[in-house]
Structures are given as C-alpha cells and as structure tokens.
Amino acid sequence: MHIAEGVLNTPGLIGGGVIAVTGTAIGLKKIEYKDMPRIAVLSSAFFVASLIHIPVGPASAHLILNGLAGIILGWASFPALLLALFLQAILFQFGGLTTLGVNTATMASASVLCFLFFRRMVKISNKFWNFTGGFLTGFFGVLLAGIFVASVLALNGEFFIPVAKMIVIAHIPVMVIEGILTGFVILFLKKIRPELLGGNQNINRQ
C-alpha cells in the first residue's frame, strides 16, 4: 500500500514524516550494536518474503507481513520498514522520497500496534491462541495500515473519501489471507525457533 508521489498535500506529508522520524528514533535507540546484524538480516528476510505473490481469488497479491514484522522486530520495525521502503524507492522507484515518511508511518505504526496488542497471545504455549494471535496480527497489520493510508488520503479533502474507502475494501481478501498465513508462520516458528517470537526482549538476549 504505497501512496504515490505528488498526491498528498503538505499536512499529510509533514505529519507522516514526523511520525516516521520519531518512530525510527525510538527504534534505533532500542537496537544495540550487537543486535544490528540480527535485525538487519531479519529485515532482509521480510523484504524477500514481501516479493512472494500468492493467489487471492482470481487475482494475485504480494505478501505484506507488516504485522508479523512487528511481532518479531518490535519497535525496530520503524527503521526496518524505513530502510526497506528507501531501498524500494532507489531500487525500483516504488514510492518516492517525499512520501517515504508517510509510507513508513502508515506501515510501521500498524506493525508496532500489532506488537503491543498480540505479542502475549503468540508467546503463551497454547496452539489455538497462538494461531488466533497470528491471524489477528496478520489481519490487523493490513487493516490498520489500510485505515492509516485511507485517513492520510482523506486529509486531502472530502472528495478523496471514496478513494480511501475503496483502498480499504479492496484489501479485505488480502487481510484474511495474511491472517491465515501469519497464523501458520507463528505455529511454525513456535515449533522451530520460539525465541524469535519474544519481541524485542528476546532479540536482545544473546
């Protein structure tokens, strides 16, 4: 869900920029030097995973996984997503430089909210709740990001509200599939590498 260049007006661009800078500063402060390789390599994994296309009904969509990124990276999602979007801007010219702040803010705020709300559900040892927590993470990761994108667009004026609504509605199937997928990823990680699911604290532990 990228907002293209040249569409937003000043308040949207500046507001998004401020949120992105604040979030990134908090994220960077929480990352210690010894965690940097781990967070960076995990971020690359998320970048690669987001290139995977899955069928959604008759169409196909790429994975977003910002909820899952939130659960695993915590506040570090802000710098991670900022860098991923910056890379996309200079690698494939997706999104641009003035919208870098807004796009980081909409995606990473959703990640951090998922981290704050659902990390306990995926931590406990109960498969049902783990899957549910994963589903909610995937679902709300996309839903919240969509709502944030829609609200920023609506800042442009009332006439933008139909576009904003359409973006959220078009993403509903993606939300469901991201939810199911994230649920399965959580179960998988729980079995193979449970220490990945502790959020920031466990990443800090050597």
Partner 1 sequence: MFNEYIKGDSIIHRIDPRVKIIYTLVFSIVIALQNELIPVLTGLAISIILVAIAGIEIKEVIQRLRVVDEFILLLWLILPFTYPGEPIIEVWNFSVSKEGIMLTTLMTIKANAIMLILTGLLATSSIFELVHGLLHLKIPEKLVFMFFLIYRYIWVLYDEYEKIMRAVKARGFRLHNTLHTYRTIAYIVGGLLVKSYNRADNLYRAMVCRGFNGKFWLLEHFKFSTIDLMAIIMLTTGNIVIIIL
Residues between 145 and 174 that touch partner 1 (CB under 8 A) = 157, 159-163, 166
Return d(Cα 66, Cα 108) in angstroms, integer.
7
Cα 179 to Cα 68: distance, rounded to the nearest angstrom: 10
Nearest approach in angstroms of CB 1 to partner 1 is 10
CA–CA separation, 75 and 108 (whole Å):
8
Among 65, 107, 152, 174, binds partner 1 (CB under 8 A): 65
Structure tokens of 79? 């710098």
205 binds partner 1 (CB under 8 A): no
Going from the C-alpha of 2 to that of each of 33, 34, 192, 196, the distances in angstroms are 31, 32, 33, 28
Is residue 192 a contact residue for partner 1 (CB under 8 A)?
yes
CA atoms within 13 A on the CB side of 148: 25
Decide if residue 13 touches partner 1 (CB under 8 A): yes
Q: At closest approach, how far in Å is the CB of 147 from partner 1? A: 18
- The residue count for binding partner 1 (CB under 8 A) is 74
The CA distance from 136 to 129, in Å, is 10
Scanning residues 66 to 95, which ones bind partner 1 (CB under 8 A)?
A: 68, 72, 79-80, 82-84, 86-87, 89-94
Binding mask 24-43 for partner 1 (x = CB under 8 A): x---x--x-xx-xxxxxxxx
Length of the chain: 206
**In this structure, how many other beta carbons lie within 10 angstroms of the beta carbon of residue 126?**
10
Q: Which of 75, 181, 199, 200 lies at the binding interface for partner 1 (CB under 8 A)? A: 181
Residue type, 148: F
- Site residues (CB under 8 A) for partner 1, limited to 104-133: none
User: Residue 91 or residue 128: which is nearer to partner 1 going by CB?
Assistant: 91
Nearer to partner 1, 147 or 167 (CB): 167
Whole-angstrom Cα distance, residue 84 to residue 125?
32
Question: Does 184 contact partner 1 by CB under 8 A?
Answer: yes
